[in-house]
């Protein structure tokens, strides 16, 4: 970003120890964060050994791997080598995981740690009290981060009674002692380190006397508490209240309000840098923001933004064909990155399957959802004992991985997998190559599971089906090429590949994406299609408004909003 911005200048020129910067999407927050980190270097204590990793650092802290990569790239572009070395760019999971792994013995953890799926943790908790856990699982984020309930400061109105809490925490502790962690354990274990080892807490405070907290509207109670506990001499909070999604890891407006009350200076970024080639688009989106927030802001709707009406009588199925036409229109207009956004995963899955059958081939899911599905597959695989069970397991996984895999073909394959082998008599031509591959599993044993998996995927591709290049598919293919002939060893290798993939930022490549509006946060697309702009998906309440705004601001130059002729969201009037 090369355009001068007086708002950025004001933030960097401020000497306030506590600053809050309200940063709407596209206003150059990433550029500002890197520039600000560099400008704060002179306020750090001098390193005892120049040009080394020893000494205090500015901590630039964010949430996702993608945001971490973007901030690191911006810092590398703006800061000289010596200055850049004194800025640490990290996300919360990485910060916590590094500490937990380094001090695992002090935490009572075994030498080997494994990141397991949320499904595996839920099974451990369900064994304690199935009825209670089923009820608690309806409360967003509670069971995923239940290790935090060990500390009274993180208990709230979702916390169960003392007896049940103690029993569930005992189950979590047993998982920890077995070396099985979920991602949300990292924060609780980091907090435990600070509680039990004051010298370590003092070391972190000395290491990071200046913190820039990015996207802080999404901070959980623990993440916000960590920032406050480290008590930096300078704290700059970058946040946008209109991107706060309630219920996400317990994010609440009250925490951001507390920072606004405590700060010495508050700033708002107002220049839409992301749309510098489309000035009217940036002005329109900022005006929509004002109107969604209840203020008057005149700005005519762009020619690149249109509302498509569909008959409400067809229900959610009625959004499929208009979505396909909108996708075709976006690519025909020359756009390279196109996103279809929905309110929930069920609608995203339905649209993804439909578009794949229509030959559009959305790119694979990445990030947490892909990791959870893949990790759960490997965990279930490790519990199976023979070729027959594994063949069924593999066939089920393929039907889920390949979005255009016909239901009839999946049922035929399942019926032909017998306890003693594969029934090939009078099978259909499209089933035969898949069944032949699965027959190798019966013939050669479970050690060839991963090579057989690859043979089945190859057979699907040869038949014309789309196999998305997901992290799971890559892990399976890579493990097959290095198979050891021991299934348990191969499962460990595949798990390691998945864990490494989960810690890498997703690749930003052109193509078609289908995801929820929530999953689109932090991403940018040439064209955005909001597939189900109904009152059900985007009601006129705080969360509906925020999600609708997040979805709109993912686009650069083209927006298609698919609404019904009767039950459309009332938020459309703000466009």
d(CA 391, CA 435): 10
d(CA 225, CA 360): 45
d(CA 371, CA 367): 6
d(CA 143, CA 163): 16
- Pair of tokens at residue 122: 């839920």
Please say whether the beta carbons of 362 and 514 come within 8 A. yes
Task: Mention every residue, 6+ apart, whose C-beta is less than 8 A from residue 291.
Answer: 297, 574
Which residue, chain included where needed, has tokens 């490997």? 378
d(CA 140, CA 543): 14
Which residue, chain included where needed, has tokens 């089920």? 396
d(CA 326, CA 163): 54
CA 352, 357, 361 angle in degrees (round to 5)? 55
Please say whether the beta carbons of 187 and 222 come within 8 A. yes
Q: Which letter does DSSP use for residue 302 in this model?
A: P
Phi, psi of 45 (to 5 degrees): -60, 145
d(CA 250, CA 157): 11
- Which residues pair with residue 554 across a beta bridge? none
For the annotated binding site, the residues are 23-30
For the annotated binding site for ATP, the residues are 23-30
CA 43, 46, 48 angle in degrees (round to 5)? 155
Nearest to 281 by CA among 575, 557, 2, 563: 557
d(CA 385, CA 377): 15
Cα 332–chain centre separation: 30
Phi, psi of 63 (to 5 degrees): -110, -60
Q: Using the Cα atoms of residue 553, residue 556, residue 557 and residue 560 in order, give the sign of their dihedral.
A: negative
Torsion of CA 516, 522, 528, 532, to 10 degrees: 20
Please say whether the beta carbons of 514 and 355 come within 8 A. yes
Q: For 39-63, give one letter per residue: b (16+ CB within 10 A) or e.
A: bbbeebeeeeeeeeeebbbbbbbbb
- Pair of tokens at residue 365: 């899911």
d(CA 424, CA 71): 55
d(CA 276, CA 285): 13
């Amino acid at each position: 970003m090369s355009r001068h911005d007086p708002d950025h200048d004001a933030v960097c020129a401020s000497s306030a120890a506590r600053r809050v910067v309200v940063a709407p999407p596209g206003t150059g927050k990433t550029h500002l964060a890197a520039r600000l980190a560099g400008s704060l270097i002179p306020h750090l204590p001098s390193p005892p050994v120049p040009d080394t990793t020893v000494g205090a650092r500015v901590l630039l802290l964010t949430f996702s791997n993608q945001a971490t990569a973007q901030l690191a790239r911006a810092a590398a572009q703006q800061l000289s080598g010596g200055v850049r070395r004194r800025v640490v760019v990290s996300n919360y999971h990485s910060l916590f995981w590094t500490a937990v792994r380094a001090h695992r013995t002090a935490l009572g953890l075994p030498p080997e740690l494994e990141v397991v799926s949320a499904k595996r943790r839920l099974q451990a908790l369900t064994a304690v009290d199935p009825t209670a856990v089923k009820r608690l699982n309806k409360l967003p984020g509670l069971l995923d981060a239940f290790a935090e309930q060990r500390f009274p400061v993180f208990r709230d109105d979702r916390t169960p009674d003392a007896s049940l809490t103690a029993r569930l925490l005992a189950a979590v502790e047993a998982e920890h002692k077995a070396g099985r962690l979920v991602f949300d354990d990292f924060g609780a274990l980091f907090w435990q380190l600070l509680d039990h080892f004051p010298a370590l807490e003092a070391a972190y405070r000395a290491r990071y006397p200046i913190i820039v907290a990015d996207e802080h509207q999404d901070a959980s109670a623990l993440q916000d508490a960590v920032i406050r506990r480290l008590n930096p001499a300078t704290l700059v909070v970058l946040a946008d209240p209109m991107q706060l999604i309630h219920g996400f890891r317990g994010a609440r407006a009250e925490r951001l309000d507390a920072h606004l009350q405590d700060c010495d200076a508050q700033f708002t970024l107002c220049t839409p840098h992301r749309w510098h080639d489309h000035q009217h688009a940036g002005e329109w989106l900022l005006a929509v923001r004002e109107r969604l927030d209840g203020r008057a802001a005149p700005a005519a709707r762009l020619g690149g933004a249109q509302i498509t009406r569909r008959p409400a009588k067809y229900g959610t199925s009625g959004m499929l064909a208009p979505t396909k036409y909108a996708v075709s229109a976006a690519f025909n207009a020359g756009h390279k990155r196109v996103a279809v956004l929905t309110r929930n995963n069920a609608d995203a899955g339905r649209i993804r399957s439909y578009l794949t059958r229509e030959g559009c081939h959305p790119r694979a899911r990445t990030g947490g959802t892909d990791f959870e599905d893949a990790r759960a597959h490997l965990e279930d695989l490790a519990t199976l004992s023979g070729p027959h069970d594994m063949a069924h397991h593999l066939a089920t996984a393929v039907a889920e991985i390949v979005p255009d895999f016909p239901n009839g073909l999946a049922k035929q394959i399942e019926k032909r997998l017998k306890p003693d082998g594969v029934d090939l008599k009078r099978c259909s031509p499209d089933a035969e190559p898949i069944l032949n591959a699965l027959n190798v599993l019966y013939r050669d044993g479970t050690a060839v599971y991963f090579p057989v998996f690859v043979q089945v995927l190859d057979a699907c591709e040869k038949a014309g089906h789309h196999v998305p290049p997901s992290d799971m598919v890559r892990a399976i293919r890579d493990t097959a090429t290095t198979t050891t002939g021991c299934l348990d060893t191969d499962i460990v290798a595949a798990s390691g590949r998945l864990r490494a993939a989960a810690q890498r930022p997703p690749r930003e490549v052109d193509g078609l994406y289908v995801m929820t509006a929530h999953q689109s946060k932090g991403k940018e697309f040439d064209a955005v299609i909001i597939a189900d702009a109904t009152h059900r998906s985007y009601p006129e309440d705080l969360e509906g408004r925020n999600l609708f705004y997040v979805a709109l601001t993912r686009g650069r130059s083209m927006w298609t909003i698919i609404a019904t002729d009767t039950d459309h969201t009332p938020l459309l009037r703000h466009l």
